[in-house]
Every structure is written in C-alpha cells, then in structure tokens.
Structure 1
Amino acid sequence: MDVRSVILMVGLSIALPIITLGTYVHDEQYGEEPLAAMSDEMADENSDEDRKVEQNGQFLDYQYFQNGPLYTHWGSNTCSPGSNLVYSGFVGGTWYTVKGGAAQYLCMPMEPEYSEYIPKTQSNSILQTAELQTPSKSIPAFHSLHQNTPVCALCQASGRSAQFMFPGRLTCPGGWNKEYDGYLMTAKYDHRRTEYICMDKQPEVMEDTSKNVNGALLYFVETNSKTDVPDTYVGEKELTCSVCSR
C-alpha cells in the first residue's frame, strides 16, 4: 500500500465519526429533517423585521429604515408614505417688514420646551406665525385659507440618501421618489426677503387663525414680461414645485 492510500484511510477514519456525531445532534434537536427545521426557525426570527419592512412600503435591508434625509412638508402635518414623521407643528418666521430677524421660515413644534427665561418681552428677535396671502383671485384650494397659519411636518425619507425641492416641476426626475408637490411661496416682491418654500397643493392650516394679524407672510411666485426667463415660462402663472428623494 502506498503512502497516499494510507493518508486517505486515516483521514476517513477521523472524518466519519465527526459527520455521524453532527447528524445525531441535529436529529436530536430538530427531528428527521434538521435542515428544514432550522430554516423554519430562522424564518420565524426574521418575520417581525420583514413585516416592518413591508409596512414601510420598501424592500431594503431593515437597518436602513432608521436612516434617511430630512425634509419639511409645508402645509401638512403628516408625511408621505415611506417617510417617518419626526414632529408636526406650524409655520413661523420674522415679521414681513422688519430689517432684522432671520430670512427662512421655520416649522415650529406645537409643544416648545423652555430653559431659563426673563419675564416680559425683551429687545430681542420676535418669532411670528406665518400667514397665507391667498385672496379670492388665487388658486381655488387656497381661497378659504386666506390669512390662516399653515401647518407643517418634519419628515425623514426612510432608506434614502438625498432629497431636493425641484422648483417649477410637479414631477421628479427618473429614479427619484415624489414626497409631495405644490406651489412655490415666499415673501412679496416689495417686502423683506425670505426664502422659497414648496407649499402643499392642498394645504392644511391651524384652527382659528383666520384673523388678519400679518406676521411672516407667504405669497405665490410668478414670472412676468420684465424678466429674461425662457419662453417656456408663461408670465403671471403661479409656479409649481415638488419635493423628491432618492
């Protein structure tokens, strides 16, 4: 008998008991079909996570659902399907004629938390509620909301890596998911500058806020014949927008 045959026989004599022992352990634990039983057990362990994934309308690795870019849904206190609500609130900002304060609008939570404070108003910056300036000659969905304070929501687009507000578009580019669409709004042309925001096309407002108190005012955005925009832009038409993620 040559050396190779001896080595092969020795190897088999060691391996066979190990294989037999492994089979015995599996049979004791799972019965006659150990592989099928193990597969069922693993499926049960993962079923809860699978259900969570399906509830979010996505089919990605579950751990990614806690990550994603933030965006503000202006004019709504809820988020689109596939996004998680961080908090909801109302739109606030700086009084429309003052020189100071901040330019951007804020989505303010309904229940603020305070630290130390000094009673009575100081010579500080004052936060105002926003107010829709949408009289009867504006978009129909906004007519009854004139001078009301719009609501808002801070949302997280789960399982995605980027978000952007596309001005002048109701649709998203290929490969992007639309969170919502609406109309561009900002301060009036002869007021203090603020920022452009995308207001939902079916906005919601806070109750009992129809009184004309001004504050951080919001107007539709248009182009006119005095601007050098391309011919594809029609003057005096309210510009749209969409918030998209991918």
Structure 2
Amino acid sequence: MIYILNLLLWGIIPAKGAPVHDCVGEQCRDIISVPLIDEMKATLKADLDVSKLNSVLHKYILEEVKKAVKVSFDLQMEKAVDEIHGNVTKLMQSDIKTKFEVLQDESFKGNTFVRWGRQSCDETLSSLVYKGYMAGPTHKAHGSGSNYLCLTSNPQAGDVPADWVSSPGLLYGIGWELTGTDRSKSLDHIDDKDVPCAVCLTKGKTTLMIPGRTSCYAEWAKEYTGFLVSSRNAKGFVTTEYVCADEDPEFYGSQNYNHGLIHFVEVKCGSIPCSKYEDKTKLSCVVCSK
C-alpha cells in the first residue's frame, strides 16, 4: 500500500494504455530515479510530465524577479527623491539668500541730492540724510569757491595744524533776496532770511535737475519743484552755480548778515529761442529721480 501511495504522490504511474519505455543513462533524461519509502532496495523508473512544473517555476521566477525589480526600483526612487529634495532645498535656500542680499543691498542703494530752501525731504520718494545751512561765497567776493554747499547742522571739528593759516578760502551763509524792488507778498516773509537745505537719499539710482520745467519726463519721479536761483548778475558780484530752490521755501535765523545772496534767474532770449522762452522769464525747475 505504501508503495502505491509513493507512486501516486510522485505522479509516476503511467496512464492506462501508455507505453512504458526502457532506457539507460543519457537516454533517460525525462526519467527520474526515486528511492522507495518502504526500503525495498529497488529503483523506480517513470516518465514525468514536467510541463506543469516548468510553468509553475516560470511563474515563481517571474514573481521573484518582479519583487526584486520593485524593491530595487523603490530604493532607486527613494534615493532619487531624497537627492532631488536636497537639491531643491539647496536651490531654494540659495535663491532666498540671493534675493535677501539683493533687497538688502538695494535698500542701501540710491542717489543723493540737495533740496535747497527746505529742511526736510519727501518721505515717499526719498529720506533725509541730514539738514543744514546753505553756504557759499559772499556775493561780492573775489576768489574762493563758486559752488554752494549744504553745511550740516551737526558739525564735527577736526585737528587742523596751527600753521595752516595762509590766505584761507571763506564760506558764508546764503540768504534769500527774491523780492528786490518788485516785492512779492508771497515771498516777502523770507526775504533777507537765511536759506536752509536738506540732503536727501532717493530710492532711484540717479537724480536730475531740469531747469525750465515744473514736471518730470516719462518714467521719472518728481522729488520737488522750485525756481532757479544764483548770485546776482551785476558788476562786483561773484559768479556762482545755478541751483533749484524749493517752491515752498523755508528759512532759519532772523538777522540779515547780507553775506551771500541768491536771486531769481531770468532768461535772456536770443541764442535761447525766444519762441520757447520769453525774455526775462523767471525760470522754474524740477528735481527728478529714476
């Protein structure tokens, strides 16, 4: 009985009517020798149908390969995702750092200009660096400087050697002298008073003073509007630069020292086209930034 069970378990009982072949050695490639369980000291030879076994093995191997490929793919994907995440993080950190540095750098960039006749700046477009006093040569001086300076209201004295005293240049405070014989009630309150000034830092990269205009050209921002001033055009008066004084002027002090004076500037047409500028027109001006 045990012998029969062995045969059934191994599937080696040939089908009814199927031929049984004797074979020897290499001729028996499809025949397997199996020890009998009942220790009969004999060898059982049978034809085995390995097609089902091959199919099962094929499916098993295929599944194992799929599992191995999936595990490898998952590991590679995880590694790739980690690498991408790391690179993206580095790029974001670098980009944020760069933008921060640019913004920080831009916050300290700009251009400065002097707002003559005022002690403050337009806080929308520009910020105050310092305020002070308009200074320059006396209106009847010979030599020294010819340009105007905005002296700070918070000076600091340096250590100057005592022997540096030979023929120094002189700097005077500048006063308003706008009414003259043709007195203007609107500006009478500042006449013979001293002129303040403010140094402003604009957010724009450059500034421009345009004489003869009250507004800026396209894509430029207006810092302030004013009128052109300089020293008086008369014999014995010093030559100075032209500057744009604010249209809403202020003053400081109450005493008239009559040192340096600024006056309106008028156009003398001819070489300057009279069709554009009427003779003796007092010139407006505007300071623009971009």
Please, what TM-score do these two structures have when normalized by structure 2? 0.63
Match of 2:114 among 72, 82, 85: 72
Match of 2:198 among 129, 148, 153: 153
Q: 1:13 to 1:124 in 2, by over 3 A?
A: closer
Structure 1 residue 9: deviation in Å?
A: 4.5
Contact 1:185–1:220, Cα closer than 8 Å, also in 2: yes
**Corresponding residue for residue 201 of structure 1:** 247
Match of 1:188 among 229, 232, 248: 232
Q: CA RMSD in A?
A: 3.1
- Give the fraction of aligned pairs with identical amino acids, expressed as a percent: 25
**Corresponding residue for residue 187 of structure 2:** 142
Q: Which amino acid aligns with 1:97?
A: K
**Corresponding residue for residue 126 of structure 2:** 83
> Quick check: 1:221 aligned with 2:283?
no
Structure 1 residue 18: deviation in Å?
A: 9.0
* 1:18-167 map, 5 Å: 61=103, 63-80=105-122, 81-117=124-160, 118=162, 123-135=167-179, 137-158=182-203, 160-167=204-211
Q: Which amino acid aligns with 1:235?
A: D
Contact 2:136–2:174, Cα closer than 8 Å, also in 1: yes
Contact 2:137–2:238, Cα closer than 8 Å, also in 1: no
Q: 1:75 to 1:184 in 2, by over 3 A?
A: same
1:208 aligns to what SS in structure 2?
Answer: coil
2:75 aligns to what SS in structure 1?
Answer: helix
Q: Which amino acid aligns with 1:109?
A: T
Please, what TM-score do these two structures have when normalized by structure 1? 0.73
Structure 1 residue 110: deviation in Å?
A: 1.1
Q: Distance in 2 between matches of 1:142 and 1:7?
A: 91
Q: Distance in 1 between matches of 2:153 and 2:271?
A: 42
Contact 1:96–1:187, Cα closer than 8 Å, also in 2: yes
| Residue ranges of structure 1 left out of the alignment (5+ in a row) | 21-48, 50-59
Q: Which amino acid aligns with 1:195?
A: E
Q: Which amino acid aligns with 2:239?
A: R
Structure 1 residue 217: deviation in Å?
A: 1.3
Q: 1:143 to 1:237 in 2, by over 3 A?
A: farther
**Corresponding residue for residue 170 of structure 1:** 214
Contact 1:82–1:157, Cα closer than 8 Å, also in 2: yes
Contact 2:137–2:171, Cα closer than 8 Å, also in 1: yes
Q: Distance in 1 between matches of 2:276 and 2:81?
A: 75
Q: Distance in 1 between matches of 2:212 and 2:72?
A: 78
Q: Which amino acid aligns with 1:146?
A: D
Structure 1 residue 207: deviation in Å?
A: 2.7
Q: Distance in 2 between matches of 1:91 and 1:110?
A: 10
Q: Distance in 1 between matches of 2:289 and 2:156?
A: 31
Q: Which amino acid aligns with 2:155?
A: P
Structure 1 residue 13: deviation in Å?
A: 3.4
Q: Distance in 1 between matches of 2:139 and 2:284?
A: 23
Structure possessing the higher radius of gyration over alpha carbons: 2
Contact 1:141–1:202, Cα closer than 8 Å, also in 2: no
1:172 aligns to what SS in structure 2?
Answer: coil
| Residue ranges of structure 2 left out of the alignment (5+ in a row) | 1-61, 83-99
Structure 1 residue 224: deviation in Å?
A: 3.5
Q: Which has the higher contact order (CA 8 A, sep 6+)?
A: 1
Q: Which amino acid aligns with 2:134?
A: V
Structure 1 residue 16: deviation in Å?
A: 4.7
Displacement over 6 Å in runs of 4+: 17-20
